[in-house]
Structure 1
Amino acid sequence: MPSINTLLIRSRSRMVLVATAATFILGVIANAAGDEDVSSNAAAAANGRPNIVLVMTDDQGWGQTGYYNHPVLKTPYLDAMSENGLRMDRFYAGAPVCSPTRASVLTGRSNDRTGVQSHGYALRRQETTIASVLKDAGYVTGHFGKWHLNGLRGAGVPVLHTDNHHPGHFGFDQWVSVTNFFDRDPLMSRRGKFEQFTGDSSDVAMTEAIDFISRQSKANQPFFTVVWFGSPHSPWLADDEDLKPFASLDKDSRHHYGELVAMDRSIGTLRDSLRRLGIAENTLVWYCSDNGGLPKITPDTVGGLRGNKGSLYEGGLRVPAIVEWPATIQPRVTNYPACTMDIFPTLVDLLSLAPSVAPNPLDGVSLKPLFHEEIESREKPIPFRFSNKAALIDNDFKLLAENLDRSKFVLYDLNNDPTETTDVTAEHPQVAKRMQKSLVEWNESVKASVAGKDYPEGRVDPDHPEPRWWTEVEDYKPFFDQWQDRWEYARYFKTKRK
């Protein structure tokens, strides 16, 4: 693996569908209503608006791409995407774990504001999501894959139609989803109907997404498609063919990287399908990961950065990212600092929607200008708050508080010290003072959001659920006998069944 400094130097220069649905219903009955009537949406959509596809991997580290010269992993389809789009080498997840980052994507807000403090927390229904905004603007919306915003923990199970935090409640017309991470031959939910699928989970999710895209394309409907993979999150189970390049690695690492091979292949399937349908030119595809890479995987997952998933160091927050939109974006690499909280305001800006569609304070900024030309510096810092830790990235500088209660801050110069080894507070006292003031003030605003002050009611909905295991949900219990021998679920019945 090249050093982080080598990777950053390079970054400043220009450098099969296998799944078919075998449908059977396991007893959960979907809502009686049929598919959403989207004919009125067609009239509402303005001509020339791009189709939008958001793709997110699960636990893929910043260094785990072929275009960073990973020593064992090849990602030819991501490499091709990066050669044809805007490769963002300083892109950050909204948080160092999964559910919070997903909340930041949908809302443009830091995770704690939305009620999603950590993994397995539910997104408040009082939040405004980009899916709802785009649906109102005339887009047909679909979610495929991992959801993990309904307050359930444990390996992904099909989302119930009775779940009052399923994707449909947040603006998605169609969805084929699971509660959390999912692997080979997944059991998923099509708007509440359980279906058994065959094949690698990335191929399965992408197959469903492409079917949705194809239908909207043929109907001349603009679409907003979210594909959230379950890979390469543990547990790992890759196809034998996908394992072949990694024979020399330990078992976990071998399957981990095998899952990334399948994920990359599904990216290729998406790009090929958009071209086959004749809609690639005006389709914006935004790819990234949900948090930093995992420890104990060989080779290194974070490209030499400090920290891993769960940490506010760069290795826990910085993730690979590419935006491809052939009609608008000329291929290039940027080091402009950006984050998942920027997705919401960027899409709103691209569609010239009124700022009032986002009624609550946003933490992200629009990246629309960056799609056309390089921007020298970011005007609004990127904030993070997770597990009583906080950080603020202001262009080259990063302020980190390992414990907010103790108010002890460390300042890093990421331009000269990307691996965060040296506190430069003494060398830059005014920068440290300014950033500390900004971080403290921002944290106070988050406290108000946590208390529900952003909402018209001035409080959090009292029915908002607390995190829980799906083994504790009554509506899942009729399926326990069928599920206890499934490899991905068996461990939960040994320790958590109630």
Structure 2
Amino acid sequence: MINRRDFLKGTTAMALSGVMPEALSSASEPSSRRPNVLIFFTDQQRWDTVGAYGSPMGLTPTLDALARQGVLFQQAVTTQPVCAPARACLWTGMHQNRHGVWRNALGLSPEVPTIAHHFQRAGYTTGYIGKWHLAPREVGNGAVPKEWRGGFTDFWEVSNVLELVSHPFEGTLYDAEGKEIPFSGVYRTDFLTQRAVRFLKEVGKDPFLLVISYLEPHQQNDWNRYVAPEGYAQRYANPWVPEDLRPLPGDWYSQLPDYYGCVARLDENLATILQTLAETGRLENTIIVFVSDHGCHFRTRNGEYKRSPHESSIRIPLVMAGPGLPRAQIVPEVVSLVDIAPTLLELAGIPVLAEMHGRSLLPLMRREVAGWRGEAFVQISESMVARALRTDRYTYCAVALDKHGWNDPHSDRYTEWYLYDLYADPHQLVNLAGKRQAEPIAEQLRARLRDRIREVEEMDVQIAPYPVPM
């Protein structure tokens, strides 16, 4: 892990970021005004693409500078390493069994409360731009009817499944009336940022909750590859390769240059957003959250890019900065995607629902760590029916061998399948499941996972030890 001294080193990234240092420096001061909230949401971005986490590629000077002015969560973990379920968890603060979206193509019920509902009731303008992925399949991939918008009703420029109605340089969003907003000849990431700048300069009223949901660095599905802006892949033609990828077959060799180019362009767009907040006088009163839904293992762990319990799938970048938040703070504890919703509600002075599985991260930011569980619960679908725990030291995963990942949301019987010691094997190259020397810790983790399933899913399950041949 990067240490605090290294994290605080360097000031050149601030100059590169295009952010006004004096505005960011005052951003952590509490304000008597209700804070705006802006969520810069990327898709399928590995945590180790970010310089603040130790990437040597220099892709994210703006985000690195923002992290130095705010809070870097060292071990943030998704709840579900696939798009729709992770998004539903983020917006509701609940795990999939409570909000109902346990795989793609399922809609988030209009009856399920989201942060947009809570913020709107508190007098906020709610806006959403980009990829939604939470309307049911029968609605289609483009326009989303009002009842399926999760409470984001004041400003809406969205495609439900953006990757299926657009390409990197052309496509369509849909406004609140279902009218097309086409784009052509502009990079998709840049276009979404242009729409966000329009909101900030012409449309949005304070206080606001604005989500900018980018598709990048997700692959272009029908092209089966990642696509960076013109010239960007060439910049990273000889890239650093993360150590979890190097020994394993996959498509990382051909895909990393474009993937890194996507990340670099996202960071430049983050600079545009921060500059616009500064120009409109809002930067010092806006809470900024940078987060991704899940990571990417480049087909090294299964036949596609995610849906596995490995760090490359479940570990995500998470940075927060703004009023009421500490500056230059690293939070080393394990935190979950479901913790973001209650954190933002508390920061805005809005009551947190008891139904939320997530917990506010503010005590950790104040270094009030007593009682923090220090583990993240992960549910996995589509590739398999699985449940996992990610602790500070271990990743433990059990699989329902008789269930189908697309058809079955859960099981009452699982089998131990993965166990990694992240202290000894941070790149998860040695699976300890079934190893005699690992049985004592496996037994402990088995019990902890059963307890978490009972707590979250309200059901008792059996977890069998790894099936060792006799």
Taking structure 1 as the reference length, the TM-score comes to 0.71
Q: 2:28: which partner in 1?
A: none
Compute the displacement of 1:68 (Å): 3.9
Give the secondary-structure state (helix, strand or coil) at the position aligned to 1:260: helix
Match of 2:174 among 184, 189, 206: 189
Shift of 1:11: 6.6
Relative distance call for 1:396 and 1:72 in structure 2 (3 A) is closer
Show CA shifts across 1:454-476 (max 9, x none): xxxxxxxxxxxxxxxxxxxxxxx
Task: Indicate if the aligned counterparts of 1:184 and 1:237 stay in contact, CA closer than 8 A.
Answer: no
Which of residues 262, 267, 270 is equivalent to 1:267? 270
Change (3 A) 1:294 1:119: farther
User: 1:210 touches 1:273 (CA, 8 Å); kept in 2?
Assistant: yes
Change (3 A) 1:354 1:175: same
Aligned-pair CA distance for 1:378: 2.1
Find the counterpart in structure 1 of residue 142 from structure 2: 158
Does structure 1 retain, via aligned residues, the 8 Å contact 2:68–2:327? no
- Displacement of 1:117 after TM fit? 1.5
- Secondary structure (helix, strand or coil) at the match of 1:113 reads helix
Q: Distance in 2 between matches of 1:418 and 1:243?
A: 28
CA distance in 1, matches of 2:374, 2:334: 10
> Do 1:285 and 1:325's aligned partners in 2 also have CA atoms closer than 8 Å?
yes
Amino acid in the other structure paired with 2:180: F
Counterparts of 2:418 and 2:452, CA distance in 1:
12
Indicate how the Cα distance of structure 1 residues 68 and 445 shifts in structure 2: closer, same or farther if over 3 A, else same: same
Instruction: Report the equivalent of 2:112.
Output: 127
Residue 163 of structure 1 and its aligned partner are, at CA, apart by 6.5
Deviation at 1:129, TM superposition (A): 0.5
Match of 2:292 among 289, 294, 299: 289
Correspondent of 1:276 among 269, 275, 279: 279
Deviations 1:285-329 (A, max 9, x none): 1111111114159xxxx9xxxx96110122210011111115532
Q: How does 1:8-407 map to 2 (within 5 A)?
A: 8-10=1-3, 14-15=7-8, 47-72=32-57, 74-152=59-137, 157-160=141-144, 162=145, 164-165=147-148, 167=149, 169-180=150-161, 181=163, 182=166, 183-191=168-176, 192-198=178-184, 199-215=186-202, 219=205, 221-235=206-220, 236-248=226-238, 252-295=255-298, 309-325=306-322, 328-355=325-352, 358=353, 360=355, 362-373=356-367, 375=369, 378-379=372-373, 381-387=375-381, 388-403=385-400, 405-407=413-415
Give 5+ residue unaligned stretches, structure 1.
1-7, 17-45, 448-498
Q: Which residue of 2 aligns with 1:426?
A: 439
Query: CA separation in 2, counterparts of 1:380 and 1:89?
Result: 12
**Kindly tell me: are residues 136 and 397 of structure 1, through their superposed partners in 2, closer, same or farther at Cα, counting changes over 3 Å?**
same
Distance 1:433 1:310 in 2: 21
Q: Is the 8 A contact 1:293 1:315 kept in 2?
A: yes
CA contact (8 A) 2:129 2:212 kept: yes
Provide the rounded CA distance (Å) in 1 between the counterparts of 2:450 and 2:56: 42
CA-CA distance at 1:243 after TM superposition: 3.2
Runs of 4+ displaced beyond 6 Å? none
1:411, 1:432 within 8 Å by CA — same for their partners in 2? no
**In 1, Cα distance between the equivalents of 2:238 and 2:93?**
42
1:438 aligns with 2:451: yes
Q: Give the unaligned 5+ runs of structure 2.
A: 9-15, 17-30, 221-225, 240-252, 401-410, 461-470
Partner SS, residue 211 of structure 1: helix
One-letter amino acid of the structure 1 residue matched with residue 229 of structure 2? D
**Aligned in 2, Cα 1:72/1:374: closer, same or farther, shift over 3 Å?**
same
CA separation of 1:444 and 1:115: change in aligned 2, threshold 3 A: closer
| CA distance in 1: counterparts of 2:70 and 2:138, whole angstroms | 35
Q: TM-score, normalised by structure 2?
A: 0.75
SS of the residue corresponding to residue 276 of structure 2 reads helix
Per-residue CA distance 1:160-213 (angstroms, 9 max, x = gap): 4x4642x2x533311111122343222111111101124111121122122222
Q: 2:122, 2:426 → 1: CA distance? A: 41
Question: Is the contact made by 1:113 and 1:446 (CA closer than 8 Å) also made in structure 2?
Answer: no
Note the C-alpha offset of 1:367: 0.7
- In the TM superposition, what whole-angstrom CA distance separates every residue of 1:105-132 from its partner, at most 9, and x where no partner exists? 1100112432212223211222111001
Could you tell me whether the CA contact under 8 Å between 2:83 and 2:104 is conserved in 1? yes
99-108 or 391-400: bigger deviation: 391-400
Inter-CA distance 88–443: structure 2 relative to 1 (3 Å threshold): closer
Q: How many residues align?
A: 395
Contact 2:173 2:182 in 1 (8 A): yes
